[in-house]
Amino acid sequence: GAGVSQSPSNKVTEKGKDVELRCDPISGHTALYWYRQSLGQGLEFLIYFQGNSAPDKSGLPSDRFSAERTGGSVSTLTIQRTQQEDSAVYLCASSSGEGSNTEAFFGQGTRLTVV
Amino acid sequence: SQQGEEDPQALSIQEGENATMNCSYKTSINNLQWYRQNSGRGLVHLILIRSNEREKHSGRLRVTLDTSKKSSSLLITASRAADTASYFCAPRSYQKVTFGTGTKLQVIP
């Protein structure tokens, strides 16, 4: 596709349920990032994939959060046993992965509301 | 951490005025990037300045970089109401991209 695509755009879930958020990066981009942004706050780094390297999971807030990237393309962020504090916009970005002199392209995010 | 910190946290100006936002960071960098976010959704890349550059222009945007002070500034000249957004800096030394809390700019018509 032409840009980074995230689905769903909005998700309302009940506390305790599991949710899966999907990110389709720009074709050919080897680097993929997940961020979380609570209302009125900055971007909190969650996880970063680069090619076939082990992902950088240093930003995941708890073991309820996990992410995978299949075939070096689509990524899924899974939140198990959701809590109200998980409510936020989850943003995905990708870049060409050719070092630091590249820009990150963002999707429009998934707004997650846990009720 | 290569994360930058933006200052001020919030800025309100009249249309037509210039807006200046600052970014400070702690580690050595290869480049520094500025991004813009409208309405809490995806960020859009604005401009990249390399570590060997001191100033860069793009339209109404002017970015400066002082690596000795580990700081950068973003100047938006002749601001417009449509410039209302949050602005984030991203100091880069390797592939991973992290962001600070941003500067919320409000341009009043």
Per-chain mean pLDDT for chain A = 93
pLDDT computed for residue B93 by the predictor: 82
Res. B19: pLDDT tops 60: yes
B39 lies within 8 A of chain A by CB: no
* Cα torsion through B43, A113, A83, A94, rounded to 10: -30
Give me the mean pLDDT over the A49-57 stretch: 91
Confidence of residue B1 (pLDDT cuts 50, 70, 90): low
The nearest alpha carbon in chain B to A99 belongs to B95
By 3-state DSSP, what share of chain A in percent is helix, strand and coil, each rounded to 5? 5, 45, 50
Give me the mean pLDDT over the B57-71 stretch: 97
Across the interface, of A43, A99, A108, the residue whose CB is closest to B95 is A99
Across the interface, of A37, A45, A105, the residue whose CB is closest to B40 is A37
Give me the mean pLDDT over the B27-50 stretch: 91
Contacts of B65 in chain A (CB under 8 A): none
**SS3 state at A72:** helix
Please tell me the distance from the alpha carbon of residue A100 to that of residue B80, in angstroms, as a whole number. Answer: 31
Tell if the CB–CB gap between B31 and A100 is shorter than 8 Å: yes
The backbone torsions φ and ψ at residue A85, rounded to the nearest 5 degrees and listed phi first, read -70, -5
Give me the mean pLDDT over the B91-103 stretch: 86
Confidence of residue B76 (pLDDT cuts 50, 70, 90): very high
pLDDT computed for residue A1 by the predictor: 52
pLDDT computed for residue B25 by the predictor: 93
Residue A62 Cα, gap to closest chain B Cα (Å): 19
A74 lies within 8 A of chain B by CB: no
Give me the mean pLDDT over the A78-101 stretch: 92
B97 lies within 8 A of chain A by CB: yes
More confident residue, A109 or B27: A109
Strand partners, A78: A20, A66
The number of angstroms, rounded, from the C-alpha of A57 to the middle of its chain's C-alpha atoms is 12
Q: Enumerate residues 6+ apart whose C-beta is below 8 A from B40.
A: A37, A39, A89, A109
Residue A56 is given by DSSP the state B
A106 lies within 8 A of chain B by CB: yes
